[in-house]
Amino acid sequence: MSDSAWVDGFFWLFSVGAVASGWRVFKTASMVRASFLLLASVAAGAAVMLLLAAEYLGMALLFMMAVEMTVMALFMVAFMMNPAGLNPMRMVHQKTLAAVAGWVAFLGLAAVGVFGDLPDRPLVDAATALEDLGVELLGPSMLVFESAAVTLLAPMIGAVVLSSSRGRFGPADHGSAPPDADGEADERQTDDRRPR
Amino acid sequence: MSAVAPWVAVPAVGGALVAGVYATGVLDALAGRRRAGRPLAVGDALSLPWRRACLLLVQRGVSTERPDASAWMLAPALYGAMAAAALTVVPLSEGRVVADLRTGIVVWGAAEMLAMVGVYLHGWSPNSAFPLLGAYRFVAQAVSFELLSMFVLIAAALPARSLQVTRIVESQESLWNVLRQPLGLPLFVVVTLGVAFWGPLNLPDGDDLAGGTGAELSGPARLAWEGSRAAWLVAASAMGAAAFLGGWLGPWLPGPLWMVLKTLALLTVTVWLGHRAARVRPERFVVSAWTVLLPLAFLDLVVAGVQALP
């Protein structure tokens, strides 16, 4: 078997894998499973990028998405009151809007693929591609990437501030009481028993 | 970029990991019994990992109530496979490397982060309280040491002007990075202990959590999990040897032997620390990682950057 046959075989394997795990995201009943199925889908996409000789971008995608999906799973479980993500819950809502948005995105991308003027020059040397990417990121496109970075950083800091128990005005659970055996908050315990 | 055939690469990486994991078991037995004041004869220590592996293999595996069985079974495989993937970019000697990628340390970082997914799923999937707490602890721990890992490796890559691990080794011809960037290796030892959650950084599987993510483990699954942890200790020690101790460089002895000796030296240090240093509390580790160790990693990067200026 020649090298290109291997590459074609793996391309189809990872493409089908990306679509299949993407579909399973909406079929599972657990936030944690949904997050890691999405990670599997993105990882298959990253593998396709590696096959396309986008060595750095493929690896960086794996690198970032592993952290991102884990943190996403944790935050979703933390904010959605779904203990450990093991309680079943539906992954689909706003079906009409989602279907319309999905078809528009699919048709748009398909139109780009079919009618677009795609370059057909084979990549000669992956080393220069890596260097070109670095020069582009730290040169002409620096402002775009830095703006995106700061835009992403702001909500991250916001999420940490919202979920941190230590706030500017003292502990977040100040004045709150643990529920008793019936699930009702005990009125007698609402006074502050914790030292600041 | 040279390519190694799969039928060479798989036995090479697998063999190195199995040998390394066995060496970790022997060193751990020796150091642990010595620490306990009842030193073990070397002959007994040599057979101890083998006997323990046999015991676990014939032990019956138990299950929990409604676990996510596939994730529970696949989590050690993911965690261990990432140790193997990380080891592929580390050269044994000049020209002897499985994947001599230009993005070597990015591959390393990606493997480290996917290992975190493995540990989290391992704690989440048994549907049990202590493993779940361990899983959450490890995410906090991993997010804290991951930046350290990347900064010290980027600092090691600066003098080489390349992310390729073989080039990083070659750049240490005149002076090893351990002397050029004195903060790099100590911080990477923290990362090594963290990624294998060994000794002082055994927060997810600690005794205070009744075994944490491994609390419900028995039989072959425990063998796979403990083996994978030791595999990460080996892979990280090999990376530390390549990035900071000059890899295969050294006088008199052949290159591969130097690499093995340096890896074993780092492995001994981490196993020894595992028995000597007290386990830290998760909060204390996370706070000190972000407020003390991360600034030190920045300093390491500044030192490397100033030296790299023309």
pLDDT tens digits, A156-173: 888 777 777 776 667 767
A21: nearest Cα among A36, A6, A4: A36
Residue B259: pLDDT band (50, 70, 90) is very high
pLDDT value for A82: 55
To the nearest whole Å, the CA of A86 is away from the closest chain B CA by 8
What are the φ/ψ torsions at residue B158 (nearest 5 degrees)? -60, -50
First to last CA, chain A: 70
B186: nearest Cα among B212, B231, B148: B148
pTM value is 0.88
To the nearest whole Å, the CA of A143 is away from the closest chain B CA by 23
Decide: B140 and A93 in contact? Cβ < 8 Å: no
Percent of chain B with pLDDT over 90: 69
Q: Please report residues of A whose CB lies closer than 8 A to that of B126.
A: none
pLDDT value for A85: 52
Checking if the pLDDT of A186 tops 60, the result is no
pLDDT value for B35: 84
CA distance B179 to A43: 38
List alpha helices for chain B, DSSP H. Answer: 6-35, 42-58, 69-87, 104-124, 129-160, 165-170, 177-180, 184-195, 219-244, 255-276, 282-288, 294-308
Tokens of B218: 């028995």
**Count of residues in chain A:** 196
Percent of chain A with pLDDT over 70: 78
CA distance B216 to A48: 37
Tell which wins on pLDDT, B121 or A134. B121
Q: Average of pLDDT values for B29-36?
A: 87
CA distance A161 to A172: 11
Closest CB to B121 among A36, A59, A84 = A36
Closest CB to A60 among B106, B124, B136 = B106
Least confident of A80-89, B16-25, B45-54, B259-268: A80-89
What are the φ/ψ torsions at residue A171 (nearest 5 degrees)? -65, 145
Classify strands A166-167 and A170-171 as parallel, antiparallel or unpaired. antiparallel
Residue A42: pLDDT band (50, 70, 90) is very high
Q: What is the pLDDT of residues B116-169, one digit of tens each?
A: 999 999 999 998 899 999 999 999 999 999 999 999 999 999 999 888 999 999
CA distance B219 to B226: 11
Q: Average of pLDDT values for A94-118?
A: 92
Q: What is the pLDDT of residues A51-82, one digit of tens each?
A: 887 888 899 999 899 998 998 888 777 777 55
To the nearest whole Å, the CA of A67 is away from the closest chain B CA by 6
pLDDT value for B99: 87
pLDDT value for A124: 65
CA distance B177 to B159: 9
**Touching B: A residues 85-114, CB under 8 Å:** 85-86
Tokens of B232: 């990460």
CA distance B43 to B80: 28
pLDDT value for B151: 94
A74 touches chain B (CB under 8 A): yes
ipTM, two decimals: 0.89
Place of tokens 């309680």: A87
Task: Kindly list the distances between the CA atom of residue B230 and the CA atoms of A191, B25, B178, B256, in Å, as whole numbers in the listed order.
Answer: 49, 8, 24, 21
pLDDT value for A196: 44
B interface test, pick of A64, A70, A165 with most B CB neighbours within 10 Å = A70
pLDDT value for B45: 85
Task: Kindly list the distances between the CA atom of residue B18 and the CA atoms of B8, B57, B253, in Å, as whole numbers in the listed order.
Answer: 16, 16, 24
CB atoms A56 and B121 under 8 Å: no
CA of B71: which chain A residue's CA is closest? A33
Give B182-242 as a DSSP string: TTHHHHHHHHHHHHTT-GGG--TT-GGGTTGGGTT--HHHHHHHHHHHHHHHHHHHHHHHH
Closest CB to A59 among B107, B117, B124 = B107
B123: nearest Cα among B204, B44, B199, B55: B204
Task: Kindly list the distances between the CA atom of residue A111 and the CA atoms of A52, A100, A116, A152, in Å, as whole numbers in the listed order.
Answer: 21, 16, 7, 30
Q: Is A125 helix (H, G, I), strand (E, B) or coil?
A: coil
- Tell the burial category of B140 from Cβ atoms under 10 Å away from its Cβ (0-12, 13-18, 19+): middle
Task: Kindly list the distances between the CA atom of residue A159 and the CA atoms of A20, A74, A77, A154, in Å, as whole numbers in the listed order.
Answer: 31, 12, 14, 9
Decide: B114 and B43 in contact? Cβ < 8 Å: no
pLDDT value for B1: 44
pLDDT value for B137: 93
Tokens of B14: 């697998």
Decide: A25 and A38 in contact? Cβ < 8 Å: yes
- State how far Cα B249 lies from the chain centre: 22
CA distance A65 to A18: 14
To the nearest whole Å, the CA of A103 is away from the closest chain B CA by 32
Average pLDDT, chain B: 91
Average pLDDT, chain A: 81
Q: In the 8-state DSSP scheme, what is residue A183?
A: S
Checking if the pLDDT of A1 tops 60, the result is no
In chain A, at which residue ranges do the beta strands (DSSP E only) sit? 166-167, 170-171
CA distance B249 to B254: 9
